[in-house]
């Protein structure tokens, strides 16, 4: 049973997941769960992929590793994939979107290889993460937000803060934990 909500913040690499998650964690007291960090620190992977320059994630191990924390609630789950997290864990899915020229500049700034850059830009243009979220979760909990400018970040975080307040109010009106996990 959860007394605090769980939110996924997802989107193509570079779209602003970490920036949003950090700010939202500061303003709401929810905790930032960076899946990149968990995969690395808890070794939820099957090794390093040189071509993609990223860990080959062991999803079962990852889910086992975060299950107890997730079931307690109060997490902002920050990752570039979302459909592996069970529906029953999740109260809101925020899919951040960025203009492709804006995203291009951000990814070039990171020194991505041409192949990785193109793959991520294609994924953003084809709205792969948005479709993934819509396929995996109920329509009413999936929200698409722009993340092109710093003003967007501020506005998005304020919007998410209001959502958290409403969730908490609704939860306390119902007398505590409302959801089975």
Ligand X SMILES: Nc1ncnc2c1ncn2[C@@H]1O[C@H](COP(=O)(O)OP(=O)(O)OP(=O)(O)O)[C@@H](O)[C@H]1O
**Cβ proximity to ligand X, 71 vs 155, nearer residue:** 155
CB atoms within 10 A of CB 124: 25
119: Cβ contacts below 8 Å, ≥ 6 apart: none
Distance of closest approach, residue 152 Cβ to ligand X, in angstroms: 5
DSSP code, position 179: B
Shortest distance, CB of residue 169 to ligand X, whole angstroms? 28
Asked if 14 is part of the footprint of ligand X (rule: CB under 6 A), the reply reads yes
The long-range contacts involving 25-29, CB below 8 angstroms and separated by at least 24 positions, are: 25/76, 27/157, 27/161, 28/160, 28/161, 28/164, 29/74
**Residue 5 within binding range of ligand X, rule CB under 6 A:** no
What's the rounded Cα separation, in Å, for the pair 81 and 10?
6
Which residue positions form the known binding site for ATP?
14, 16-19, 110
Residue 30 binds ligand X (CB under 6 A): no
Q: Which positions from 66 through 105 interact with ligand X, judged by CB under 6 A?
A: 80
Write out the two tokens for 155.
């506005």
Strand-pair partners of 145 = 96
Near ligand X by CB under 6 A: residue from 7, 15, 93, 94: 15
| 19 lies in the binding site for ligand X (CB under 6 A) | yes
Is residue 116 at the binding interface for ligand X, with CB under 6 A as the rule? no
Among 26, 118, 149, 166, binds ligand X (CB under 6 A): 149
Q: Are 13 and 143 in contact (CB under 8 A)?
A: no
- Report the binding-site residues: 14, 16-19, 110
The reply to whether 153 sits near ligand X by the rule CB under 6 A is yes
Could you list the residues that contact ligand X (CB under 6 A)?
11, 13-19, 36, 80, 106, 147-150, 152-153
């Amino acid at each position: 049973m959860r007394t605090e909500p769980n939110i996924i913040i997802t989107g193509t690499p570079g779209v602003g997941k970490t920036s949003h998650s950090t700010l939202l964690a500061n303003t709401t007291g929810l905790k930032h769960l960076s899946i990149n960090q968990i995969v690395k620190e808890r070794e939820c992977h099957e090794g390093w992929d040189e071509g993609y320059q990223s860990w080959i994630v062991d999803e079962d191990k990852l889910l086992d590793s975060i299950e107890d924390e997730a079931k307690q609630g109060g997490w902002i789950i920050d990752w570039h994939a979302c459909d592996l997290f069970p529906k029953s864990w999740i109260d809101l899915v925020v899919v951040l979107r960025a203009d492709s020229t804006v995203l291009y500049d951000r990814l070039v700034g990171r020194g991505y290889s041409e192949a990785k850059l193109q793959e991520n830009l294609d994924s953003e243009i084809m709205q792969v993460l948005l479709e993934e979220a819509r396929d995996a979760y109920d329509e009413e909990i999936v929200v698409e937000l722009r993340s092109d400018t710093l003003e967007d970040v501020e506005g998005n975080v304020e919007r998410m803060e209001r959502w958290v307040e409403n969730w908490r109010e609704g939860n306390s009106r119902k007398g505590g934990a409302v959801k089975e996990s």
